[in-house]
């Protein structure tokens, strides 16, 4: 895990990607780019955030457009090769038949193994480093089922890191986490210093931890830029239907939003 | 993350030792299985007869020709067949539970066993003469494979197969095929219809084993288990959920199909030679996960030896309990298996919460 020492970043480009599900267009020519920075994807429920992410980690094939990771089309290169470049943390991983923490993190090595290959020293080192990076090495032998929500998310993040990816795709990583674990997880993601695409419901978290923000509504990208540039009262009223005041967080100095329902004003 | 509130519950995991112990226990059980019966034979004589057949020079053990015949011609094939069937069912159960992420999955839930049974019973009751004896194993295998593919197709919607739909399709198919089997049995319940033979086969029996029955299951078991162990990381990836598995570069649709075909091979040959023997495929993988962990690299070989061991032991009991009458071995696996499963379920439940 030498991300913090390496200088070369690997860009992620989503280029005019459209997605149809059951004959309905869910995503309309969405484009975004990230390169070594943390890009936040925000939008109301059902706006197409997760759909866009699914085209990146190869769960949903775009109807048109393309996704490139490190300049290579993820839908053209072999799946395992794509999984060595991009790792995903998805929502609601199942919890029947749980693995132990160590076994779960080790599944991150699947794209690295020759199909019929045994575990290598590189595999063991990557798993160990990934667990240390998120601070779960002490629980390696525990069942994932016995962990709290915050610990589980860290296990999933460690599994993603064990893939030794250059690009991280995180779908609502702070869901079900208390505020302490939300902040810990996102600051950890920032420290990793990799190209990161993350969906977040909490706009204040997005403003605090993302270098840039892309706003998506009804399957269309409608704004992109720094939090200060994008998260304006006008846009928040248009897209989220709330009145907002833009403040400054007295503890961090970062952009802070205060909201109220539309009908009250 | 405060460390204080974390109760460390380290499992004792010694997968290699566990597998070795199970393998030795299975060998001992096979020897004992050959030793007991209406004519008891000393285990030392059993070993001597086997050694005499396997080792080209004189082993210096003494035994009668009758003993040699009982050991080599009758009891050893039966014990080995029991081992192979138990191992095949347990490995198939472990794989099915992983690819659908359902702890209740086993070859019976998926209708695979029912498919094999229907085809075999159809052969036993409908085919006549020499055709029947030749085709029962072949029919059972194709019955299992066809049912597997049918369940897979039925569970498919817009090119995606989800674990829940697979289980539902499997259960529905299992009931449907069971009713067809019942119909075939009733239809055969006429004088001279051979119904008792069919019923005893359906209840699961190893009684008719001879050396000729062993080749196919042995070959399938070894090839399938080795292949599955080599693919064990993919099986582990299935446990992380479809989305994560896809993000790991696993083709979950094709993967499920491959694992389904391999398990239907295992179940098909097992059902063909022994009839429907339940609960081995459900219980053994759970028990093994409890002992060696969930990594399929260890679960699969451990399940193979434990499943084989269980069936050999159960077959000994099936022959002794009502001697000289033999109980169908499938009846005993269910009688032993169901309470054990409930006990295991409660125990697991206590650990997880």
For residue range B77-124, list pLDDT tens digits in order.
999 999 999 999 999 999 998 988 877 778 877 788 888 888 888 887
- What pLDDT was estimated at residue A117? 61
Going by C-alpha positions, the residue among B117, A144, A114, A74 that lies closest to residue A65 is A74
Length of chain B: 353
- What pLDDT was estimated at residue B83? 96
Confidence of residue B351 (pLDDT cuts 50, 70, 90): very low
Q: Which of chain B's residues have a Cβ under 8 Å away from the Cβ of A77? A: none
Q: Which of chain B's residues have a Cβ under 8 Å away from the Cβ of A93? A: 240-241, 243-244
From the list B11, B230, B247, which residue is nearest A90 (CB)? B247
- What pLDDT was estimated at residue B196? 72
Interface test with B, best of A72, A78, A103 (most B CBs within 10 A): A103
CB-based contact A100 B250, cutoff 8 Å: no
The pLDDT of B251-265, averaged and rounded, is: 89
Going by C-alpha positions, the residue among B211, B111, B248 that lies closest to residue B168 is B111
From the list B8, B158, B294, which residue is nearest A98 (CB)? B294
CB-based contact A107 B231, cutoff 8 Å: no
Q: Which of chain B's residues have a Cβ under 8 Å away from the Cβ of A184? A: 1
Cα(A52)–Cα(A17) distance, rounded to whole angstroms? 8
Q: Does B65 touch chain A (CB under 8 A)?
A: no
Q: Does B162 touch chain A (CB under 8 A)?
A: no
Cα(A185)–Cα(A180) distance, rounded to whole angstroms? 9
- What pLDDT was estimated at residue B192? 60
CB-based contact B239 A98, cutoff 8 Å: yes
Helices marked H in B248-295: 252-274, 280-292
CB-based contact B249 A84, cutoff 8 Å: yes
Q: Which of chain B's residues have a Cβ under 8 Å away from the Cβ of A83? A: 247-249
Helix, strand, coil percentages, rounded to 5, for chain B: 75, 0, 25
Interface test with A, best of B96, B244, B290 (most A CBs within 10 A): B244
The pLDDT of B41-68, averaged and rounded, is: 83
User: B176-197 pLDDT, tens per residue?
Assistant: 998 998 888 888 776 665 677 7
All residues at 6 or more sequence positions from B4 whose CB lies less than 8 Å from its CB, including other chains? none
Q: How many helices (H) and strands (E) does chain B have?
A: 15, 2
Q: What are phi and psi of B13, to 5 degrees?
A: -125, 110
β-pair partners for A96: none
Confidence of residue A36 (pLDDT cuts 50, 70, 90): very high
Cα(B291)–Cα(A77) distance, rounded to whole angstroms? 40
From the list A99, A111, A181, which residue is nearest B248 (CB)? A111
Cα(B323)–Cα(B321) distance, rounded to whole angstroms? 6
Is residue B352 pLDDT above 50, yes or no?
Answer: no
Is residue B212 pLDDT above 90, yes or no?
Answer: no
Is the separation of the CB atoms in A74 and A88 below 8 Å?
no
CB-based contact B13 A141, cutoff 8 Å: yes
Confidence of residue A19 (pLDDT cuts 50, 70, 90): very high
CB-based contact A146 B9, cutoff 8 Å: yes
Question: Chain-wide mean pLDDT for chain B?
Answer: 82
- What pLDDT was estimated at residue B56? 77
- What pLDDT was estimated at residue B198? 75
Question: How many Å is the Cα radius of gyration of chain B?
Answer: 21
User: A152-186 pLDDT, tens per residue?
Assistant: 889 999 999 999 999 999 999 998 888 998 999 99
CB-based contact B247 A88, cutoff 8 Å: yes
User: What Å distances lie between residue B108 and A238, B288, B316, B339, CA to CA?
Assistant: 55, 19, 24, 17
Interface test with B, best of A19, A116, A124, A132 (most B CBs within 10 A): A116
Q: Does B13 touch chain A (CB under 8 A)?
A: yes
Q: Does B101 touch chain A (CB under 8 A)?
A: yes
Count of C-beta atoms within a 10 Å radius of residue A179: 10
**What residue in A sits closest to B158 (Cα-Cα)?**
A22
Interface test with B, best of A94, A114, A152 (most B CBs within 10 A): A94
Cα(A239)–Cα(A182) distance, rounded to whole angstroms? 24
CA end-to-end distance (rounded Å), chain B: 19
> Per DSSP, which regions of chain A are E strands?
11-21, 24-35, 38-42, 64-69, 72-73, 86-89, 167-171, 195-199, 212-217, 220-225, 242-248, 255-261
């Amino acid at each position: 895990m030498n991300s913090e020492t390496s200088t070369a970043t690997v860009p992620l480009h989503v280029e005019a990607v459209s997605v149809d599900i059951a004959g309905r267009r869910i995503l309309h020519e969405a484009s975004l780019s990230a390169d070594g920075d943390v890009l936040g994807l925000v939008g109301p429920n059902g706006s197409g955030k997760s759909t866009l992410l699914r085209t990146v980690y190869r769960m949903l094939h775009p109807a048109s457009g393309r996704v490139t990771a490190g300049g290579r089309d993820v839908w053209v290169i072999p799946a395992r090769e794509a999984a060595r470049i991009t790792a995903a943390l998805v929502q609601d991983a199942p919890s029947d038949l749980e693995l132990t923490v160590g076994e779960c993190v080790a599944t991150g090595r699947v794209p690295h193994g020759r199909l019929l290959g045994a575990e290598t020293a590189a595999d063991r080192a990557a798993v160990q480093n990934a667990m240390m990076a998120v601070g779960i090495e002490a629980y390696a032998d525990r069942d994932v089922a016995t962990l709290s929500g915050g610990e589980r998310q860290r296990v999933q993040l460690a599994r993603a890191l064990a893939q030794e990816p250059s690009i991280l795709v995180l779908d609502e990583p702070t869901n079900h986490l208390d505020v302490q674990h939300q902040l810990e997880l996102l600051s950890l993601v920032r420290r990793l210093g990799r190209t990161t695409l993350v969906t977040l419901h909490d706009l204040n978290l997005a403003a605090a931890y993302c270098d840039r923000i892309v706003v998506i509504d009804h399957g269309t990208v409608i704004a992109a830029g720094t939090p200060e540039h994008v998260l304006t009262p006008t846009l928040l009223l248009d897209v989220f239907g709330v009145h907002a005041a833009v403040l400054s967080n007295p503890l961090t100095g970062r952009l802070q939003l205060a909201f109220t329902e539309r009908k009250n004003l | 993350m405060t460390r204080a509130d974390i109760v460390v519950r380290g499992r004792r995991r010694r997968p290699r030792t566990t597998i070795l112990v199970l393998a030795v226990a299975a060998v001992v059980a096979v020897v004992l299985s050959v030793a007991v019966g209406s004519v008891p034979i000393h285990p030392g004589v059993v070993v001597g007869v086997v050694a005499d057949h396997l080792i080209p020079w004189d082993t210096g053990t003494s035994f009668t020709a009758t003993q040699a015949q009982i050991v080599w011609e009758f009891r050893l094939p039966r014990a080995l067949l029991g081992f192979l069937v138990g191992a095949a069912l347990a490995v198939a159960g472990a794989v099915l539970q992983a690819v659908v992420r359902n702890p209740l999955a086993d070859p019976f839930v998926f209708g695979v066993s029912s498919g094999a049974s229907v085809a075999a019973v159809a052969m036993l009751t409908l085919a006549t003469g020499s055709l029947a004896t030749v085709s029962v194993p072949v029919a059972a295998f194709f019955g299992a494979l066809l049912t597997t593919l049918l369940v897979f197709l039925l569970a498919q919607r817009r090119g995606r197969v989800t674990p829940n739909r697979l289980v539902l399709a499997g259960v529905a198919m299992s009931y449907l095929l069971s009713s067809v089997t019942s119909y075939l049995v009733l239809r055969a319940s006429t004088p001279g219809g051979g119904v008792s033979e069919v019923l005893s086969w359906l209840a699961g029996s190893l009684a008719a084993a001879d050396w000729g029955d062993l080749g196919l299951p042995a070959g399938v078991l070894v090839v399938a288990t080795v292949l599955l162990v080599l693919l064990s990381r993919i099986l582990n990836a299935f446990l992380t959920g479809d989305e994560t598995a896809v993000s790991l570069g696993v083709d979950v649709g094709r993967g499920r199909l491959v694992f389904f075909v391999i398990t239907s091979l295992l179940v098909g040959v097992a059902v063909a030679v022994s009839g429907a023997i339940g609960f081995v495929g459900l219980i053994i993988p759970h028990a093994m996960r409890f002992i060696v962990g969930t990594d399929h690299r260890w679960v699969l070989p451990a399940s193979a030896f434990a499943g084989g061991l269980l069936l050999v032991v159960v077959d000994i009991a099936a022959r002794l309990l009502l001697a000289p009458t033999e109980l169908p071995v499938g009846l005993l696996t269910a009688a032993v298996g169901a309470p054990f499963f409930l006990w295991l379920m409660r125990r697991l439940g206590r650990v997880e919460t």
